[in-house]
Structure 1
Amino acid sequence: MDVPGGPRLTFRVLGPLQVQGTAGPLRVPPGRQEVILAALLLETNRIVSTSQLVDLIWEDNPPETARTQVQICVSRLRKLLVDADGEVALTTRPPGYVLHTGAGNVDAALFTGLVRRARSLGEGGDREEAVRLLRSAVTLWQGDCLTGLDSGPLANAARQLNEERLAAVELRIRLELELGHHDRLVGELQRLTHEHPLREKLHGQLIQALYWSGRQAEALEAFRTARRYLAEELGLEPGRELRDLEAAILAGELPPPPAPAPPLVRGATASGPEAPDGGPAALDAASPAPIAESIRHETVPHQLPADIADFVADGQRLGTLEKALSGDGRGTVGLAAITGKPGTGKSTLAVHVAHALAETGFPDGQLYCDLRGTTAAPATPVEVLGRFLRALGIPGQLIPESLDERAEMYRTRLSTRRVLVVLDDAAGEGQVLPLLPGSRGCAVLVTSRARLTALPGAHRVELDVLDEDRALELLARIVGGDRVAGEAAAAEALVRTVGRLPLALRIVAARLAARPHWTLASMVQRLADERHRLDELAHGEMTMRASLSLTYEGLAPEDGGLLRLLSMAQAPTLPSWLAGALLDDHRPFPSDLMEPLVDVQMLDVAGVEPSGGFRYRFHEIIRVYAREQLAAQHPPDVRRAAFARMAGGWMHLAEEAHRKVYGGDFTVLHGTAPRWRPPSPYADEALADPLAWLDAEQAALCGMVGHAAEEGLHDLSWDLATSLVTLFEVRGHYDLWESTHLTALAAVRKAGNLRGTAAIRASLGSLYMSRNQYDTARQSLNSALDVFQALDEPMGEALCRRDMALIARTNGDDAAALELYRRSLADFGRADDVVGRAIVLTQSAHIRMRQGEIDLAQKQLDEALDIYEGIGYAGGRARTLRRVGQVLLEQGRNDLAVLTFTEVLELCRDSGDVIGEGHLLRDLGHAFAMMGRPDRARDFYDRAVSSREQVMDFSGGALARLDLARLLTDEPGRSRKLLVPAVEVFRERRMTRELAEAERLLGAC
């Protein structure tokens, strides 16, 4: 790059950051100035915003003076560069800065241009020249991109260039194989497959090179090596390309090696014109892909349950697990499985190890899920992947339906992160395999009662009972070291009597801790009569039942009754109000009912709610034992009444959450099932943020829909399911929406509940409409409407006609839509539902605006806003304000439109509505484009692209790319870069109108 008569400054980012001048290397002060220069070089001749630079330097916690500090760093950097080379300019261009220099002065831009030129030559048939250019491109690299720079977001952009480097190597090898150079490639490919064992393309190229070099046996062995590695490390079979290659070799059907091809005469017809200065055409190339999408804040999940204070560590076992999870030094995905009998402490050990590794080993987060493998309804991989993707920042609306697509999105999301995944209580290998990430930076820790011997590459730790020393240590930590030391012989006899099983020992020790006047010898004596059962404790379930009975029989009658009734609850964790509901006890602090069970460890404290109340958890073995006692001691009518109160409590809280979100009991139908009111202070505090409560209790609420259906409470089942649409719609939980509704639908049909059947079908119509399944939605809504009309149910009719109008509007039938909206308004009026009225006014205003009836549209929107502001429904206000902004644009009142869109953007950000944020960024781009301010419009379109594609909303991102390309007619290179992926998305999603325009613009490039 540094040639006589060439530029005075050249820049390297393909390796450590370096600046080379005619007098030698130019020293850039380390730290912030290095980060800023690197970001500007990756975006040479393009704007990098100040906010992006702030994120690069400080990531999550920028100081208040961050923008000022960036300005100071840029000023110093500008002086440093200008003093060294007057041709390099670092200029201020709102909303940030641009580094102006020739593309040939930056190795990344030179590399990208050379690869682009080589690809074009290869496609044109000039493989030899393409190979020469690719070799030149790869020699520009001096190590991994931006080695040594301390900026997590910038590292993501560097990884992208590193990936392009490997892709260039693979392309060059493919071209050389086509030229017949297979024999000279074998050694290089053996090295590359060793360095990059997960790249199947390199394995395939090695197999071809070996076979064409007459080394058939080695080619097949290379396939077996690749297959073994993929199976052991990832649990995956090789892809179709590799499998087809093996089959062709075995069948003798692989074509012979290509004969060496004579080089083409290079010229305008074969390879296009040379660069004007005779140098590589790459000097004119655009610089690397923008890094805007790589520098946004990424969600960092921390889902581990709390560690326990009295954990008894086995240092060797901990060290083994930690080493396995760090990949055993082999650069592979760390995978460990903890197995053993019930009660041996598998989950406790897993959580402890995870906490020990979390901060230093896995800084990008920890995912945790109880797979419920020992229950009748284990968690499905589809369900778990949905939870994990939401925790990783993907909105529910963008999470695909199928297992394969979810797994692919999950692996993509983790590909550049170091995340620890803890999968507790797995039923078997089939439940775990789809949840394994593909990135070697991640690790997975699994617990299970099964041995999981078919989990490839896993380091297995099988837990048994504690040895005597650790059993005594655990006893001392719970009851006190002085008591154990004072009765050493009795302590030894006690741990031997309970078989050194951790759960049994904890239960017995808890009784002693709660009764300090008891001696350890007296407990040994009490257990003597149970010797037969306690001997069996180390051999299976019957022994566990015997040990549990020791504590259970010591409970007060009311505590035992509560334990039995609590076993009916199927939620992962139990809120304290459940105790009050089951016993019909209205005391203000229902946790007082739970605490005696905690004292003897029949319940665990699982955490603290935002309201300050405690949450509790059963050990599954104890839950099973309590259920057995429930069936034996409570008659069916008592059980049914208690269950109805518990279900009624969930229903009351879900109903109240809906009211708080909507400002009242609006746009929803309710059944007649009785409610049970938890204590007012608890409900008020828990529902202070109703959507957060619905999020937190999602598993319990959805489970109660099915449980109520099983128990014959069909009216409550459909009522709860439709009330939960408040959560499903906002968060995009379409899979939960469907599963709960189909469960409730089966129950109401079986019971002949017509009103409930219609309510569920109407709600399913809304779901299908959200999924763009308009024919299915129309059928469901028509079926529901017929029943509602027969029942004279105005609310049901209003909801159906509102949604049917939206379908008509989407299909372009404005006349039918307006008539349905008119009738829906009348129905909502009969039901006295003002929110329903406001929604219809907002939706129909869009048609009026499209038809040019601006004044009428504005009048409808004003009325809707008055309604929303009067009742405090923030979500409705945001949607209507966005329409107001669009009307203002139609009226040419652009400044007011920008103010309105900005206000709605803040509302979306406050509520965590990432999809809405993308819409508003694009709206602001439209507004500034109409105002004749293309620079601002480009900035907002750029941010819209980044916002959408960050959460994998590629159709939304493609629309914003198209918007941006319309403004970049004077920059054909960048416009083409925007349009190529957009065309692919439009074609895949069958967005024909957008596809036609994108292809037209692409042709003009």
Structure 2
Amino acid sequence: MELQIRLLGPVEVFTGGQDVTPGGAKRRAVLAGLALEANRPVSLTRLAGMVWSDVPPASAVANLRSHVAALRRTVGPRLIARPQAYELQLTAHELDVTEFQRLAGEGRAMLATHDPVGAIGRLGSALAQWRGACGDGLPRGTALDNRWASLDEQRLQVFEELAEARLAAGQHAQMLAELRGHVAAHPLRERAWAQLMLVLYRCGDVPAALAVYQDARAVFSEQLGIEPGGELTGLHRAVLDRAPELSWTTPAGPAVVPAAPAEVGPSVGWAVPRELPADLVTFVARPRETADVVAALRGPAPAAVVVTGAAGSGKTALAVRAAHQVAADFPDGQVFVDLDHRTAVTPGEVLARVLRALGVPAAEVPENADERAGWFRSMVAGRRLLVVVDGVTRAAQVRALLPAGTGPALIAVASRRLGSLDGVRRVTLRPLGVAQARDLLATIVGRQRLTADGAAMAELVGLCAGSVLALRVAGARLARWPAMPVAALVAQLGDDRHRLDLLADEDLSVRASLASTVAAVRAEDELAGPILALLGAHPDTPDLVDRAATQLGVSTQRIRRALDSLVDAHLLAPDGSAGHRLPALVREYLAELAAVPATPPYALAGPRINPVAA
């Protein structure tokens, strides 16, 4: 049975590629303790100390046997009963801790034999085993705490050994941001302060290198009451003297000049981006859909998710929330790209944006899109990197970002399904139900105000048609005018001629959101504009396919293909009786455009076909 146990982050267990992680913190602690002592018997007394932070209860042995029985259903006969003990039998590659230590040892050996490029690959792969803080979610104050602390210390050592290898390979310019972040998170790591000083010196910023020494000295004095050690003070003197041995020179013998990322792999030139936008505090709806995205991203297979839904359905907010929930699982960074529904953005431009976020200087990004894709795949292979692309209009824009193996993950946010992307999980957002809409409004204006006039609130939810964006705007209006009765806003929104005027607040606008979706569909299909114009003038046309085919002079099959495109973009909904129907807010938007068909930006005509009059 293929088994994978991951402890370098939240405990995870996979058998046959399926996530079978046990529930319950104590049960996971039993598994973690047995895995850390793999192939050795662990007494019940020691096991109890790994599970309970204080004196184990009288039922400890019975509880442990119950936990082991449940774990045996997961790991099978590998979990063996010994006299007053248990043993979990694992091979080396089945536990990420063992794999991390193996790769780290190989990297140190290469560094000791003056092979920095080889060391970079091994040490970088060792760090890629980590998905977050080890022991996360397990009981604290137990005997396992020392094991987690030891592993955390090993991780810091490997990071600094990797920095040493990259310094030896002349990669000082690419590692500045990572070292600054490392020192900020671990200010008592003297070796890291010295590495940051040397990086700045080699980048030509001597004043900054000297300032780092003063910062380190202040930290050590304040927190430890001591002066920096000999390594740091010696480096400080060398920087003051502009000592020639501080400058990097190409080693004698076979060249160890740093190559392009595509040639030496992901450890070269890697930056750790943290680009996720803020998580909306008012976003309380769609827990099931959010959980679906999170589950897909945490699965063992290459993870790619398309979040799709109508304009204003809260796609971006949901994707950002899910990304924040799994951020710790992607310690190599999170990239966020907003295409703003622009169909003209090419796949090559998207790749260039991502490569720059990963530390590739703009001048070094390849001209050829295929080469950019190759660089990207080489850089992210095995890396726990999350890429979120918002406002996608075409599958081609994100196809090259699809994970080619385990490690990286992708969330694409689009109004369309992006049906030609294979191997992705699709999460579709439907209009909010009444209860979810109430919860969203309550976070903005307070539940007491809504319950004061339940009938008006229900009507307000109906006028917003389940649109997250419309509900947010309506809530913002009520919050701005605390004395305004909900019924007053309902009366204003009741006039559908001006409803979209009211559903706009600063940079939030239902009209603008719909306009982006319409523009993207028109750019893809020249018949989309004329059909939408026809629907705006006659939204309830029963014979839409035949009428549009006649007036536009094309076949009914071509009309049906265009209608499928509109359905795919959530601008049209299939209806069992009438064939198709317009969602409420889309209907009002198209009615606005039908009133002024020749005035940009409202004209819906395609480049070669004029809108058809009623």
Same structural fold, with TM-score higher than 0.5 when normalized by the shorter chain:
no
Higher relative contact order (CA 8 A, sep 6+): 2
The TM-score with structure 2 as length reference comes to 0.44
Rg comparison, structure with higher value = 1
